Structure 1
Amino acid sequence: MAKPQHILQLSEEQRRSFVDSFDRVLSDIDGVLWTMEHDVPRVAEGYSALERSGKQLTFVTNNSVRTVEQCVRRFAKIGMQVKPEQIWHPAQSIVSYLRGINFQGLIYIIASPPFKAVLREAGFQLLDGPNEFIEENYESLAKHIFCKQPVRAVVIDVDFNLTSPKMLRAHLYLRNPECLLIEGASDRLLPVAKGVNIIGPGLFSSILEEASGREPILLGKPGRQLGELIVGHYKIDRPSRVLMVGDMLAQDVGFGRQCGFQTLLVLSGGCTREQLLAETDPRHIPDFYADSMADVAQILGGGPRSHV
């Protein structure tokens, strides 16, 4: 497979062809617009240029720890007016999926308080916990993990207070073959600072998958079911005219490729140029890359070409 091209190395004709080749942009947020340390400079100019060119913008994040309202305020701080309905995150995707299958019943959930609030506000019944420390003996463990409640689905996402008893309890519910296993964010590593990654929720989810032998319903990137939801919601009949923008090879590029979208990787977050060029899995190699979304403003504004 050919190596991806940096968008600032495209000829004028190639730039025009690239910009004319998509109508809708799906963009990741963390690592693309900002990181835990800083806002990425001039990215708002890139998105403004896309909107002026008639592109429809939607933001697809794996981060449900931050509420949509907090996200909208953060966008405003960098000069972007983004409506709540332009933001997709795993909690609301799970709500959409459950409504689509007319789900009825009890959900055991391992997730953050904002994530749980989205499902509760949508009218779903949740069980969680144990949320307290338990004594280090099997009697205490058994008391906290064995439960006869008729749980119909286990949902797992980011939980900063994840414990062994929560995982054991989830696994016991999954002994019921009719109990669904639904996953939100599946990132195996989360970049928190330059060169620093922490274990992500995907590694914990994979423990449940392996222990239960279950195939999860994945409603975060790069989930096939998430792609189907988005394609159906926006009535996308030509996936090749959608551009997926992100900073992670597996989550963002992998999601875009699986859905048949074009892909643009930005190097402002979780992937370095060296990692990009070393990638050999064709499912994770983007069509194009850029240093950041500021480069998009440059090609749309007809700025001078840079040597990259």
Structure 2
Amino acid sequence: METRGKPQHILQLSEEQRDRFVGSFDRVLSDIDGVLWSMEYTVPRAVDGYKALQRAGKEVSFVTNNSVRTMEQCLRHFEKLGLQVAPEQVWHPAQSIVLYLRDIQFEGLIYIIASAPFKAVLREAGFQLLDGPNEFIEESYQSLAKTIFDRQPVRAVIIDVDFNLTSPKLLRAHMYLMRNPECLLIGGATDRLLPVAKGVNIIGPGPFASILVEASGRQAVTLGKPGRELGELLIKHLKIAEPQRVLMVGDMLAQDIQFGRQCGFQTLLVLSGGCSLEQLQAETSPDLLPDYYADSVADVAQLLGETPKAHV
């Protein structure tokens, strides 16, 4: 769907525009962090927006770049907020990578740079992983060479969030990619910055993945937002016949909105997380501009004629 002029706030739509918008999508794909909750807060009444969507007959799924949080932790948090969500409604990079590897019938050893929960998902799926080094090495070329050079038959390198990322891990990953021209490079989350609190960002996994892409000359298969391969995977496994009848909801322009637009989905930006109104108004790239925006998903309940109820 092409954006026509500036994005519109959903609560400023006319009654005719509102009815046309609500009737234009059957499925909602939503981000989680910054949309429902973050590390330090829960978005007030956002859960009411999802309940209203479900009551309106919309299919709701969640697509997050956060694989550090386990599926069990995620589902418990949904339940705590009073939202019933099944495991098959939640998509994250580790799960998407498992599906992708199965689709291509991948066999072989994987070198992985990621969090422990991320690795656990792949191990539980039956894949053989190699990681490390997980300890400090002596700062000498001799010690480095012993750490990064080996004869392991690695057929894929995967990189996602790793809070213990080190130079030797990147050097080792690069070595595997350069030694085997057929070795796959697969990326999870692409975020260049991770918003951990209002106005506080830390470096995300994106820049580190970019180092491997630039150094190896390979294009990564990206199974986090805004990866094209993730979009193809979702469309296939969710049996989406008409992408234009999907609404992508998120709080990040570069991840959520760009992802939605390149998949052919409609897009709704919420200002409850990583993007401010000032940043939205300053954005000029058509690929990053949403079709609509809202203060939060709570506005969706009001749009659908429901009065959000305060939570204790």
TM-score relative to the length of structure 2: 0.96
CA–CA distance in structure 1, aligned partners of residues 152 and 306 of structure 2:
62
Contact 2:280/2:289 (8 A) holds in 1: yes
User: Any idea what SS the aligned residue of 1:149 has?
Assistant: coil
- Displacement of 1:302 in angstroms is 5.7
Name the residue aligned to 1:168.
Answer: 171
Name the residue aligned to 1:296.
Answer: 300
CA–CA distance in structure 2, aligned partners of residues 128 and 4 of structure 1:
44
CA–CA distance in structure 1, aligned partners of residues 40 and 105 of structure 2:
41
CA–CA distance in structure 2, aligned partners of residues 155 and 134 of structure 1:
22
Name the residue aligned to 1:49.
Answer: 52
CA–CA distance in structure 2, aligned partners of residues 147 and 4 of structure 1:
53
Identity in percent: 77
Name the residue aligned to 2:214.
Answer: 210
1:228 matched to 2:232 = yes
Name the residue aligned to 1:193.
Answer: 197
TM-superposition CA deviations, 1:122-168 (whole Å, max 9, x none): 00000000000000111111000001111000000000000000000
Name the residue aligned to 1:239.
Answer: 243
The 5 A counterparts of 1:32-71 are 32-71=35-74
- Displacement of 1:193 in angstroms is 1.1
Amino acid corresponding to residue 7 of structure 1 in structure 2: I
- Displacement of 1:76 in angstroms is 1.0
Contact 2:52/2:306 (8 A) holds in 1: no
CA–CA distance in structure 2, aligned partners of residues 191 and 71 of structure 1:
18
Q: 1:130 aligns with which of 129, 133, 137?
A: 133
User: Any idea what SS the aligned residue of 1:40 has?
Assistant: coil
Name the residue aligned to 1:256.
Answer: 260
Any runs of at least 4 consecutive aligned residues in structure 1 with deviations exceeding 4 A, and if so which? none
Name the residue aligned to 2:148.
Answer: 145
Name the residue aligned to 2:34.
Answer: 31
Q: 1:7 aligns with which of 10, 20, 24?
A: 10
Name the residue aligned to 1:177.
Answer: 181
User: Any idea what SS the aligned residue of 2:287 has?
Assistant: helix
Unpaired stretches in structure 1, ≥5 consecutive residues: none
TM-score relative to the length of structure 1: 0.97
Aligned Cα root-mean-square deviation (Å): 1.0
Name the residue aligned to 1:266.
Answer: 270
CA–CA distance in structure 2, aligned partners of residues 296 and 249 of structure 1:
19
- Displacement of 1:194 in angstroms is 1.1
CA–CA distance in structure 1, aligned partners of residues 79 and 18 of structure 2:
29
